[in-house]
A and B are shown apart, each in its own frame.
Chain A
Amino acid sequence: MKGTSREIFLEKVRSALGRSGRSEPGEFSGDREIIRRPLPQSSDEMSARIGLFTERATEVGMQVELRDRKDIPEFLLGWILEQKISRVLLGQDPLLDSDLEKRLQSEGIDICKNDVGLDQLYDEVDCGITVASAAVVATGSLVLTSSDRELRLASLVPPRHLVLVPVSRLVDDLFDLSREGGVLDSVSPASGGIPSCVTLVTGPSKTADIEGVLVTGVHGPGTVQIVLVE
C-alpha cells in the first residue's frame, strides 16, 4: 500500500463524520426493489421474458434470434456466410461443439480457438463467438464473465460479436444477478467468488462525441448478434 497509511486515512474520514471510533451502520431502511418493474401478465412466463428481452435488446441496437438448440449450426453458418466472415474465434462451450466446428470448416471458414495469437486476433479475426452467462430482461443486457472457457478480448476486439444465450439464463432484473446462483452472488458458499470481470453489454460499441452524431463500432464490436437458445 502506497500513499497515506490506512489508519490515518480512515481516521480523517471518521473525524469528518464526527466519530471517534469504529461505527456499525444500521441496515439501510429504504425498499430498493420499488425500482423493479413487473413483467407483463402472461400465461407463459418464459415467452413473456423472451419477448421483452428481444424488444429491449433490439431497441439498443443488437439483433436477436430465437432458435432451437439443434438448429444452431444451421443458423450460425447462414449468418456467417451472409456477413462474409472468413475467420471466427470460438470459445469453449458445450454449445460450440465439434459438430459445429466441422460444419464451419467444411464451408471454408477458419476457426481460431482460445490460444489465438494477439496479432491474429487484432488483424484477422472477423467475429468472436461466445456464450453469455446470463441476460437481463429489464435492460436488454448480456452478461459476459471472465473464465477458463473464453477470452475477455473475444467479445471486444473483433468487429462482430455473436453471443449464444440459453433462455434458461434470462433473469428479470439487475437485482437477480446477485441473488443465489447468480454471477454476482458473493455470499452463498457455493458461489466460489465472483469472476474478476463481469461485463453487462447493452448495445454495440458507440459514440456521439463528434457533434452528437451517432457512430457505432468505435473500439468494440459494431455488430452484436444474439441467439437465444431454446
Chain B
Amino acid sequence: MNQPEIPTSVDGKPILFPGGKFDIRTRAEVFLQDEVLQVAVREATTLKDQARRDALEKAFGDDVAEIRKLAGAIKQHTIDHLDHYLEQWIDRAEAVGTRVHLATTAQEANRIVVEIAREEGVRLCVKSKSMVTEETQLVPQLEAAGIETVETDLGEFILQIDHDAPSHIVMPMIHKDRSSVARAFERVLGARYTEEPEELTAIARDHLRGKYREADLGISGGNFLVAESGSVVICTNEGNGRFCTSAPKTHIAVVGIEKLITGFDDLSVLLHLLARSATGQPLTCYTQILTGPKQPQELDGPEQMHVVLVDAGRTKILADPEFRSALRCIRCGACLNACPVYRKVTGHAYGSVYSGPIGAVITPLLSGIDKNSTLPEASSLCGACNEACPVDIDLSGLLVGLRRKIRKQRGSWPERMALRLLGFAFSHTISYRIASKLQRFFLLCISGGSRTIHSAPGPFAGWTRDRDLNLPARISFRDRWARKGGRIR
C-alpha cells in the first residue's frame, strides 16, 4: 500500500497549524485561482445558508431575532458563572459513575487519552467527529502510541485516509470532489473505482462496520455538557457517533469547558437552533444524551465512560471581558456559510481547524495574536456573520476589537501617530474641512487624471492592494449644501 506524502498547503507549510507566522493573503491568493474549489464551496455554502434561513423562518417566523438573543443570553449566563456550573457538572457526572479528567493544555488532554487507552490495553480505537480533538491533534498522538485510530464520520474518514485536513466545521470535506474520494478508496481500501456517492458511502460503511465490531475504545467530542445532570450531549447525522459511544467497552468524550449549559431547558432551546443553523434540519438525525456508563440492569453500552474537560486557552478568553462572548459559539458553521470572505478564500486559507469569522476570532485568542495577526483582517465587516449566529455573537465587533488590540501591540509608531492625527482631525469642524480639502488635493495628484486609483504610493499602498479607491466628488456635499443656501451649524 503506497502512502502518499502528507500534502502541504500552498505556502509550503502544513495545511493546519502552519507554525511560525503565516499570512492568510498568501494562501488565499492561490485558492482564489482554483476554479473547481471556488464553485464547490460557493454552491455548498449558498445552499446551507439558504437552508438555515428557511428552517428558522419556518419554525419561528418573526421571532428568530428574539430567540437568537435568548440563546446568546443562555450561553453567556453559563460562561459568566463557569466556575459554578463546571463544579456542579463534575459532581453530578462523578455521581453517575463517569470518570472526569481535567486538561489545562492540549498536550495534557492528549496525554490523558493515551494513558487511559494504554491502561485499558486498547488496540483499536474508533472516533467520531470532534473539533476539539482536531484542535489538540489527538489522533497522531494515539497512532504514535501504537493505537490504531479510525475516524468514522464519512468526511473525516476520507480526509484521514487521504492525509488531508477539514476545511469547514460542519462540512469537513467541502473542498474535495467525488473523484478524489474514488481515487483514495481505490488506492487505500482496494475498492473498485466508482464516483457514485451512494456506492462510495457503502464502501466506507462496510469498511467501518468491521472496525466498530473490533474496537475496544470509542472517542467522541461533545456538543453540550448539562450541569444539572452531568450529561454529555452529542449531535450527529450518520450514526457513527452512536457506534463509537455504544459498541466499544470504553468511551472517552473530549470536550471543551465552554460547552457547559445549566440544564435541560437550556438544552431544549439550543437544540432547536443548532441543527437548523448548521444544515437546516430541525434536529440532527441523532441527538444522544449520555449520562454515565452502562447501568447494571441495562443490556448494552460502554462499561466505562471517561470525560476529558479541556481548557487549552479557553480561560485566557474567559479572562478578557471584551472577547468572552466568543466562548458562546456552538460550532454550527452558520457564520462560515454566510461569510463572503470564507466563500472565496475557503477553509484551508485560515490555517486552523476553525475557519471563517469565528475562526478569525478564536484562533488568535486561543493560539496567540502574534502568529495569527492577519486573520482578523480577513473580513469585510459586512456583518452577515452576526445575523447568522444562533447565539448572537457580535463577530464583526470582536474582529474590530482584535484589530485594535493587534495595532496597539504591533502597530508602528508612524502608523499610530497618523491614526491619532486622523482621529483629531475628524473630531473638529475646522480641521475636518482642511483635512478633506487636503485629501482631495492629494488624491487628485496621485490619480493621474483617472476617476479611480488602482495603486497608491509608498505607505498608502496597503489601501489599494485589495481594492480600488474612487476619487471623491468634485464639490463636497458640505460646499454644495452651502451654495444651495443650506445652513451649516
Contacts and interface: CB of A to CB of B under 8 A. Distances in A.
Interface string B198-234: 1011001100110001000000000000001101000
Given A30-B73, A60-B282, A147-B299, A152 B246 contact: yes
Interface stretch (A71-79, A100-108, A173-181): A173-181
B291 interface: yes
Interface residues of B, number: 107
A203 B43 CA distance: 24
For B73, B80, B295, the residue with the greatest tally of chain A CB atoms inside 10 Å of its CB is B295
A148 B299 CA distance: 5
A176 to B, nearest CB: 9
Interface residues of A, number: 80
Contacts of B90: 6
A24 interface: yes
Interface string B159-177: 0000000000001110001
B242 A156 contact: yes
A5 B309 CA distance: 12
A209 interface: yes
Given A25-B84, A207-B154, A220-B239, 16 more contacts: A9-B102, A16-B315, A23-B81, A28-B262, A56-B282, A122-B209, A139-B272, A146-B301, A148-B297, A174-B271, A196-B96, A196-B292, A202-B287, A209-B171, A209-B172, A212-B47
B213 A118 contact: yes
A213 B197 contact: yes
A218 interface: yes
A19 to B, nearest CB: 6
A116 to B, nearest CB: 10
A190 interface: no
B297 A196 contact: no
Interface of B: 40, 43-44, 47, 59-60, 63, 66-67, 70, 73-74, 77, 80-87, 90, 96, 99-104, 108-109, 111-112, 115-116, 152-155, 158, 171-173, 177-178, 181, 197-198, 200-201, 204-205, 208-209, 213, 228-229, 231, 237-240, 242-243, 245-247, 257, 262-269, 271-272, 279, 281-295, 297-301, 305, 308-309, 311, 315-316, 318-319
Contact of B240 (A60, A141, A193, A218): A218
Nearest to B292: A196
Nearest to B276: A139
Interface of A: 1-6, 8-10, 12-19, 22-25, 28, 30-32, 34-35, 37, 56, 60, 114, 118, 122, 138-141, 146-153, 156, 173-175, 177-178, 184, 186, 193-213, 215, 217-221
Contact of B112 (A3, A148, A184, A199): A3
A3 B102 contact: yes
A148 B298 contact: yes
A215 B112 CA distance: 36
A192 B311 CA distance: 33
Contact of B81 (A5, A25, A178, A213): A25
Contacts of A186: 228-229, 264
B240 A30 contact: no
B197 A211 contact: yes
B285 A203 contact: yes
B454 to A, nearest CB: 38
A186 B231 CA distance: 11
B282 A2 contact: no
Per DSSP, are chain B's interface residues mostly helix, strand or loop, or mixed? helix
A30 B269 CA distance: 12
A196 B198 contact: no
B38 to A, nearest CB: 14
A181 B267 CA distance: 18
Among B66, B85, B116, B283, which residue has the most Cβ atoms of chain A within 10 A?
A: B283
A41 B153 CA distance: 42
A202 B284 contact: yes
A50 B43 CA distance: 37
11 contacts: A22-B87, A60-B285, A146-B299, A156-B242, A193-B96, A194-B231, A194-B291, A203-B281, A205-B285, A213-B198, A215-B198
Given A200-B287, A206-B238, A210-B200, A146 B70 contact: no
B264 A13 contact: no
A201 B43 CA distance: 28
A198 B289 CA distance: 5
A35 B245 CA distance: 30
A173 B282 CA distance: 12
Nearest to A92: B299
